[in-house]
């Protein structure tokens, strides 16, 4: 069963075009965005040291930190709006900091700026500035330290994404906002020792784990406790909407809009949104018909007979897509899609009604997937009563050599990515009892990598499958190998 979910992680939508890397222009624009967020966060932290916290600036920094850019065909105007806004936040924080230091006769620590932009700066100029800064950075920075900074950047970004999801349900939740930004601010500290960087990463692990648990909690409060799922892969006759990404809140909103308008539209999930089918709220929704596609967005979108909604955290390349009526609520959307404004999904509904959808019911198959909390807890409790070295496998592992090496150990297998909450709790219980634990992540995606990050302070042996370079910087994998003794399964 895990092989189906393995496809979600391994099938990138660049496979149709053969272009499986981020375009240099996109990479340059992304680097400048991160650069400006780093500058803003530097001065935010400096002001916090004087007991002043600008909550609006903090909110802006977190929102921008949660953004990912991997598609070349981005909306240039939206990108410029975002970069100018964070640059304005940086300038305001910097001026306030300088003024405070002057008024109180305190020394100021000013961050050297290699990338100066204004509202008149063009995309072309930003790319040129990014290329110059990349050369300067490669000359000035210790390679090992830079790899750790890349790890911190991704760790902080994924934590910011989790916070953004939590805030969809609890808008006033700010418990760890500053902690995430303070952690990200480490990437400005080029004089810091490598051992201290590693220690700070491990100190951040409990913060990130608490965020993950908070997200699990708010989702179950909203949609009910996760349970066994029967997921249809059928195509049903009629108008259709495909929702792709991993945002349950947006899926909920589109389903409510269909219901409120009393439209006869079938809604399907795509990609990571298969997780919706484990919650009672979505299981009982008559408009949600099942999961559709092979989880290669470019292929799926070109074949789907209806309208497509891309959620905020959609992370697949669709640069070569030339077909599809697509809508998106991403902060920096693609040039080929229609923008969702003010959470108004009516245009998506109207678009779906214009398409015939699937002309007949195409019966395919059904996925029967278990989510058995009691069973796993029982296994872990038995191990604690009769301690023995334990091997945890988070997925489908086909390695005869590894199984021969660990054949005399207790093996606990998690069959779907949905069980990561159970897995993390199980590992914490085992380590609390000082039971030697090894964990295998047989596929590498952002979810698996975040779980690896969460375990860097747990004194467990970690094996991780080799990762695609589309989203995951290879320097991060180097840092995991060299600084945290993570073994990579080739």
Residues 59-93 pLDDT 10s:
999 999 998 766 556 778 888 889 999 999 999 99
Residue 172 has pLDDT above 90, yes or no: yes
- Taking only the tens place, the pLDDT of each residue in 393-415 is 887 766 555 666 776 788 887 76
At 194, the pLDDT band (50, 70, 90 cuts) reads: very high
Question: Can you tell me the mean pLDDT for 414-420?
Answer: 71
List CB contacts of 242: < 8 A, sequence separation 6 or more.
267, 268, 269, 270, 292, 293, 300, 301, 304, 306, 307, 308, 309
pLDDT-wise least confident of 98-102, 219-223, 438-442: 438-442
Which sequence spans correspond to the domains of the chain?
17-222, 229-367, 373-489
Question: Can you tell me the mean pLDDT for 347-363?
Answer: 94
Mean per-residue pLDDT of the chain: 86
At 176, the pLDDT band (50, 70, 90 cuts) reads: very high
Q: What is the CATH number of domain 373-489?
A: 3.40.50
Residue 364 has pLDDT above 70, yes or no: yes
- Taking only the tens place, the pLDDT of each residue in 252-276 is 999 999 999 999 999 999 988 989 9
Question: Can you tell me the mean pLDDT for 8-28?
Answer: 53
Residue 15 has pLDDT above 70, yes or no: no
Residue 369 has pLDDT above 50, yes or no: yes
> What CATH class has 229-367?
alpha beta
Question: Can you tell me the mean pLDDT for 298-312?
Answer: 89
Claim: this prediction has a pTM higher than 0.75? yes
At 225, the pLDDT band (50, 70, 90 cuts) reads: very high
Of the two residues 319 and 367, the one the predictor is more confident about is 367
């Amino acid at each position: 069963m895990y092989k189906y979910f393995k496809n979600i992680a391994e099938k990138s939508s660049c496979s149709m075009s053969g272009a499986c890397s981020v375009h240099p222009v996109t990479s340059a624009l992304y680097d400048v965005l991160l650069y400006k967020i780093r500058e803003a966060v530097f001065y935010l932290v400096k002001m916090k040291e004087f007991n002043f916290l600008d909550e609006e600036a903090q909110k802006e920094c977190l929102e921008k930190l949660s953004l990912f850019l991997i598609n070349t065909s981005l909306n240039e105007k939206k990108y410029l709006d975002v970069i100018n806004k964070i640059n304005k936040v940086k300038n305001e924080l910097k001026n306030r900091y300088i003024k405070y230091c002057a008024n109180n006769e305190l020394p100021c620590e000013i961050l050297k700026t290699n990338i100066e932009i204004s509202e008149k700066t063009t995309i072309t100029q930003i790319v040129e500035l990014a290329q110059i800064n990349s050369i300067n950075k490669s000359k000035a920075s210790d390679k090992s330290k830079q790899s750790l900074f890349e790890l911190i950047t991704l760790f902080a970004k994924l934590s910011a994404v989790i916070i953004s999801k939590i805030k969809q349900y609890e808008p006033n939740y700010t418990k760890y906002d500053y902690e995430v930004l303070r952690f990200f601010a480490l990437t400005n500290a080029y004089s810091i020792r490598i051992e201290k960087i590693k220690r700070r990463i491990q100190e951040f692990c409990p913060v990130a784990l608490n965020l993950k648990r908070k997200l699990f909690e708010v989702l179950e409060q909203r949609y009910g406790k996760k349970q066994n799922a029967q997921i249809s892969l059928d195509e049903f006759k009629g108008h259709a909407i495909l929702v792709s990404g991993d945002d349950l809140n947006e899926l909920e909103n589109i389903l409510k809009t269909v219901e409120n308008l009393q439209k006869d539209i079938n809604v399907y999930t795509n990609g990571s949104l298969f997780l919706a089918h484990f919650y009672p709220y979505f299981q009982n929704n008559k408009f949600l018909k099942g999961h559709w596609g092979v989880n290669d967005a470019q292929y799926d979108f070109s074949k789907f007979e209806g309208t497509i909604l891309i959620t905020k955290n959609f992370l697949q390349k669709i640069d070569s897509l030339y077909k599809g009526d697509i809508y998106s609520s991403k902060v920096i959307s693609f040039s080929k899609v229609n923008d969702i404004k003010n959470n108004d999904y009516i245009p998506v509904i109207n678009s779906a009604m214009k398409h015939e959808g699937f002309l007949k019911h195409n019966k395919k198959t059904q996925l029967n997937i278990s989510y058995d909390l009691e069973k796993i807890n029982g296994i872990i409790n038995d191990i604690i009563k009769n301690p023995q070295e334990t091997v945890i496998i988070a997925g489908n592992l086909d390695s005869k050599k590894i199984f021969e090496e660990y054949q005399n150990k207790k093996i606990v297998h998690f069959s779907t990515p949905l069980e990561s909450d159970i897995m993390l709790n199980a590992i914490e219980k085992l380590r609390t009892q000082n039971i030697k634990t090894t964990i295998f992540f047989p596929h590498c995606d952002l979810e698996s990598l975040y779980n690896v990050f969460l375990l860097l302070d747990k004194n467990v042996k970690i094996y991780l499958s080799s990762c695609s370079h589309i989203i995951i910087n290879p320097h991060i994998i180097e840092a995991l190998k060299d600084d945290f003794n993570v073994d990579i399964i080739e």
